[in-house]
């Protein structure tokens, strides 16, 4: 998009107190974070400076960033009010070549829906050469809201300034997806600030959330997902963790020449023939005896090879010549084969050399890996911390699985199903219970989840019904950023993903649809990869393979994740995919026995169905 393959951004904080170190600059770093986390912007670098409320100081930075550093985008925060020292708009006006009144109008229009005091803000937006300059308010809240109001327009604005070849592509896409872009014009901060949840008849009849393509939704989730940091656990407790550091062997293994077979330690140059038995040497015992020509020692697998011996002959290649003590002691044996030097002996360091890389950072710890760690003497293991997951169902109609439903009620299956899926992956679950369809109860349970867990999963309450309150509660009640609220997929269209920060920690919130199948499918596609990435997995997504359709499948207008059972025919490397039947999102029976999701494209004029025997992608859900 910009020179060097990414957008170069400058964030300028204008504040007398912050520039003198008498107040903490919170708006500038927050804007930097928002820019870096904005999925529509491909960021190369972000510069940040702080200057006093002085026209010449502000101009100096704006001119340097635009004329010398050639930044693509400059965002200022602070100095846009009515105070005598608020001069950022005046400084910006003296720098820009052309006004961009649409951006300022958009910010003002939407800000007035949040607070009438927004009329006292005086933002100036414009361009200088190929740099776009935008004034934001000085508060964290105000600058963040204004950034969200215009963020969707920024990539195309920069493309236009850079005379990018992507401009024509963008215009074509706008024409092809006009309806979707109309929905995109509704900003997330606009959605619920004026919603009165008690005025049912006046609720939105169309979702204010744009329909996000599947690939974009997954990319947004993964971009917002960060490792949780590291911890140290006992090696006995390391199962299922991801190793956080490389592990090197501090000594060789085996630490001594060890016998590979049960047999006799011999001098290879003696060849075959009758030999006198000096005695036994067993695993765990180091003998002081020395094997000399004409002599052997009986030896067991894993025992240290005694001095003087350079070969081991397996017991099957010998015969007894003489014994004593009523058969309890071997006196002489006959070596029947011709031994070779180093035969059936593991040399020092044969398995693991001193200093050898035993396990790499990012390795999943399973039984073999834990065995290796024990072999090299590791007792404490550096690992990535596993996320704690809070799970909540929503709906006035739900009762616990052990209760008897009354009229109009149903048993809650989602919570136990999602909890089992999370537990199977080795993560701890916090049960938030069933939330009523009320803002207060939803908010209380979500806040508990945010305070006690790293990831919160809810099901239900995200569609367009009068009791679907999750999205406004997330934004208004928790102050979370909703990254998307609808996905172009089937099942799971109303899937919602949000995040918020509490101190230095980011919490991820997945509001899944209430239909059981939708909840499970979106868990596998969005939540599980995020949990795995949080825990340090290098390859967090579901395994994808090719599969052959057993029967033809009629396509849906949306991309569909079709539940299926994979099976292999003799001598055929590609499995056959058998549909689980009706794919209705409420029909949990369609998940029973399913071990894959078939990735089917949306219906088009050219493609209405996929025929029997066609090859499609299949995402693996479990054992196959």
Taking every pair of Cα atoms in the chain, the longest distance, rounded to a whole number of angstroms, is 112
546 touches 616 (CB < 8 A): yes
- Separation in Å, CA 250 to CA 71, 78, 364, 575: 50, 57, 21, 45
CATH code reported for the domain at 230-252+351-384? 3.90.105.10
Measured CA to CA, the distance from residue 261 to residue 303 in angstroms comes to: 9
Report CA Rg, the chain: 34
Place of tokens 């930075």: 61
Provide the mean pLDDT of the chain: 89
Q: Assign 206 a pLDDT band (cuts: 50, 70, 90).
A: low
- Separation in Å, CA 191 to CA 78, 113, 194, 207: 25, 10, 8, 9
Q: Which residues pair with 398 in a beta bridge?
A: 410
Phi, psi of 507 (to 5 degrees): -110, 135
Structure tokens at 142: 């105000």
Q: Which residues contact 437 (CB under 8 A, 6 or more apart)?
A: 394, 395, 396, 461, 467, 469
Place of tokens 């592509």: 169
pLDDT of 588: 67
pLDDT of 464: 55
Total number of residues shown for the chain:
624
Per DSSP, the chain holds a count of helices (H) and strands (E) of: 17, 35
List, in sequence order, the alpha helices (H) in 396-511.
Answer: 414-424, 439-452, 470-472
pLDDT of 623: 79
pLDDT for 169 beyond 70: no
Strand, helix or coil at 545? strand
Q: Which residues contact 513 (CB under 8 A, 6 or more apart)?
A: 459, 460, 462, 463, 491, 492, 493, 494, 495, 519, 522, 585
Judge if the upstream peptide bond of residue 337 is cis by omega within 30 degrees of 0: no
pLDDT for 178 beyond 70: no
* Tens digits of residue pLDDT in 414-460: 999 999 999 999 999 999 999 999 999 999 999 999 999 999 999 99
Determine the average pLDDT of the residues in 488-515: 93
Strand, helix or coil at 170? helix
Proportion of the chain above pLDDT 70, given as a percent: 90
Measured CA to CA, the distance from residue 107 to residue 111 in angstroms comes to: 6
Q: Assign 176 a pLDDT band (cuts: 50, 70, 90).
A: very low
Considering 16-25, 87-96, 563-572, the range whose residues carry the highest mean pLDDT is: 87-96
* Tens digits of residue pLDDT in 43-59: 999 999 999 999 999 99
What is the CATH topology of the domain spanning 7-173?
Molybdenum Cofactor Biosythetic Enzyme; Chain A (3.40.980)
pLDDT of 280: 95
More confident residue, 227 or 177: 227
Measured CA to CA, the distance from residue 612 to residue 251 in angstroms comes to: 58
Nearest alpha carbon to residue 397 among 387, 389, 408: 408
414 touches 407 (CB < 8 A): no
Strand, helix or coil at 417? helix
Measured CA to CA, the distance from residue 106 to residue 146 in angstroms comes to: 9
Superfamily of domain 544-620: MoeA, C-terminal, domain IV (2.40.340.10)
Beta strand 7-14 with 73-77 is: parallel
pLDDT of 209: 79
- Separation in Å, CA 194 to CA 115, 117, 338, 437, 485: 10, 15, 93, 20, 18
Judge if the upstream peptide bond of residue 254 is cis by omega within 30 degrees of 0: yes
**How many other CB atoms sit within 10 Å of the CB of residue 572?**
9
pLDDT for 179 beyond 60: no
pLDDT of 170: 46
Q: Assign 188 a pLDDT band (cuts: 50, 70, 90).
A: very low
pLDDT of 61: 97
**How many other CB atoms sit within 10 Å of the CB of residue 423?**
12
Q: What is the dihedral of CA 146, 149, 151, 153, to 10 degrees?
A: -130
Place of tokens 């960021």: 43
* Tens digits of residue pLDDT in 230-264: 999 999 999 999 999 999 999 999 999 999 999 99
Strand, helix or coil at 434? strand
pLDDT of 465: 55
432 touches 449 (CB < 8 A): yes
Measured CA to CA, the distance from residue 164 to residue 6 in angstroms comes to: 12
Concatenated DSSP letters of 341-383: TTTTEEPTTSSB-TT-EEE-TT-B--HHHHHHHHHTT--EEEE
163 touches 1 (CB < 8 A): no
Q: Assign 466 a pLDDT band (cuts: 50, 70, 90).
A: low
Beta strand 230-234 with 380-384 is: antiparallel
258-346: CATH architecture: Beta Complex (2.170)
Q: Where are the domains of the chain?
A: 7-173, 230-252+351-384, 258-346, 388-535, 544-620
Measured CA to CA, the distance from residue 291 to residue 310 in angstroms comes to: 9
Superfamily of domain 388-535: MoaB/Mog-like domain (3.40.980.10)
pLDDT of 1: 43
pLDDT of 592: 76
pLDDT for 185 beyond 50: no
Beta strand 428-435 with 496-502 is: unpaired
Asked if domains 230-252+351-384 and 544-620 share a fold, the reply is no
Structure tokens at 83: 């105070």
pLDDT for 195 beyond 60: no
Name the DSSP letter for residue 533.
Answer: H
Strand, helix or coil at 452? helix
Phi, psi of 317 (to 5 degrees): -100, 30
Phi, psi of 96 (to 5 degrees): -75, 155
Structure tokens at 417: 């199903």
Q: Assign 173 a pLDDT band (cuts: 50, 70, 90).
A: very low
pLDDT of 140: 87
Determine the average pLDDT of the residues in 394-407: 90
Measured CA to CA, the distance from residue 297 to residue 192 in angstroms comes to: 85
List, in sequence order, the alpha helices (H) in 123-267.
Answer: 140-150, 154-161, 166-176, 178-184, 188-191, 214-224
Measured CA to CA, the distance from residue 103 to residue 123 in angstroms comes to: 9
Proportion of the chain above pLDDT 90, given as a percent: 75
Which pTM does this prediction carry?
0.66
């Amino acid at each position: 998009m910009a020179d060097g393959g990414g957008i170069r951004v400058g964030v300028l904080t204008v504040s007398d107190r912050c520039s003198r170190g008498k107040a903490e600059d919170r708006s500038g770093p927050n804007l930097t974070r928002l820019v870096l986390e904005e999925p529509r912007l491909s960021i190369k670098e972000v510069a940040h400076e702080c200057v006093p409320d002085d026209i010449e100081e502000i101009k100096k930075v704006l001119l340097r960033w635009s004329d010398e550093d050639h930044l693509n985008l400059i965002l200022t925060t602070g100095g846009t009010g009515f105070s005598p020292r608020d001069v950022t708009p005046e400084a910006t006006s003296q720098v820009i070549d052309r006004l961009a009144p649409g951006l300022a109008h958009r910010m003002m229009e939407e800000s007035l829906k949040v607070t009438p005091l927004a009329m006292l803000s005086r933002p100036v937006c414009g361009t200088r050469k190929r740099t776009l300059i935008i004034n934001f308010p000085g508060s964290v809240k105000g600058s963040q809201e204004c950034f969200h109001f215009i963020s969707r327009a920024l990539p195309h604005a920069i493309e236009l300034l850079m005379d990018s070849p992507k401009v024509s592509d963008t215009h074509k896409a706008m024409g092809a997806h006009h309806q979707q872009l109309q929905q995109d014009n509704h900003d997330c901060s606009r959605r619920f600030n004026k919603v009165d949840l008690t005025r049912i008849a006046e609720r939105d009849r169309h979702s204010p959330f744009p329909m996000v393509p599947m690939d974009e939704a997954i990319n947004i989730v993964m971009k917002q997902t960060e490792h949780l940091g590291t911890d140290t656990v006992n090696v006995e407790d390391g199962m299922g963790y991801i190793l956080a550091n490389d592990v090197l062997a501090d000594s060789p293994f085996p630490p001594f020449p060890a016998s590979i077979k049960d047999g006799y330690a011999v001098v290879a140059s003696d060849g075959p023939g009758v030999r006198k038995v000096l005695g036994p040497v067993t695993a765990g015992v180091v003998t002081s005896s020395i094997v000399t020509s004409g002599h052997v020692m009986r030896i067991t697998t894993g025992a240290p090879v005694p001095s003087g011996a350079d070969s081991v002959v397996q017991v099957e290649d010998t015969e007894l010549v003489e014994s004593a003590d009523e058969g309890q002691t071997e006196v002489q044996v006959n070596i029947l084969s011709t031994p070779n030097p180093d035969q059936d002996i593991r040399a020092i360091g044969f398995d693991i050399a001193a200093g050898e890389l035993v396990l790499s950072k990012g390795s999943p710890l399973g039984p073999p890996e834990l065995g290796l760690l024990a072999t090299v003497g590791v007792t404490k293991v550096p690992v990535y911390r596993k996320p704690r997951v809070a799970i909540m169902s929503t709906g006035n109609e739900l009762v616990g699985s052990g209760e008897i439903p009354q009229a109009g009620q149903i048993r809650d299956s989602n919570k136990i199903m999602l909890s089992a899926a999370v537990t199977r992956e080795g993560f701890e679950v916090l049960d938030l219970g069933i939330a009523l369809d009320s803002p207060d109860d939803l908010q209380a349970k979500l806040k508990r989840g945010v305070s006690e867990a790293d990831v919160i999963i809810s099901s239900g309450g995200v569609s367009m019904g009068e009791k679907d309150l999750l999205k406004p509660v997330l934004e208004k009640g928790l102050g979370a950023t909703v990254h998307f609220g609808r996905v172009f997929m089937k099942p799971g269209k109303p899937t919602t993903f949000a995040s918020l920060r509490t101190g230095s920690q980011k919490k991820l919130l997945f509001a899944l649809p209430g239909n059981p199948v939708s909840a499970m499918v979106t868990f596998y596609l969005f939540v599980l990869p995020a949990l795995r990435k949080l825990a340090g997995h290098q390859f967090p997504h579901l395994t994808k393979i090719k599969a052959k359709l057993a029967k033809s499948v009629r396509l849906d207008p949306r991309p569909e994740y079709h539940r299926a059972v994979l099976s292999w025919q003799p001598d055929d490397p590609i499995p056959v995919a058998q549909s689980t039947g009706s794919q209705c999102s409420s029909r949990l029976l369609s998940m029973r026995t399913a071990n894959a999701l078939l990735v089917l494209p949306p219906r088009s004029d050219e493609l209405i169905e996929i025929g029997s025997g066609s090859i499609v992608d299949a995402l693996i859900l479990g054992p196959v």
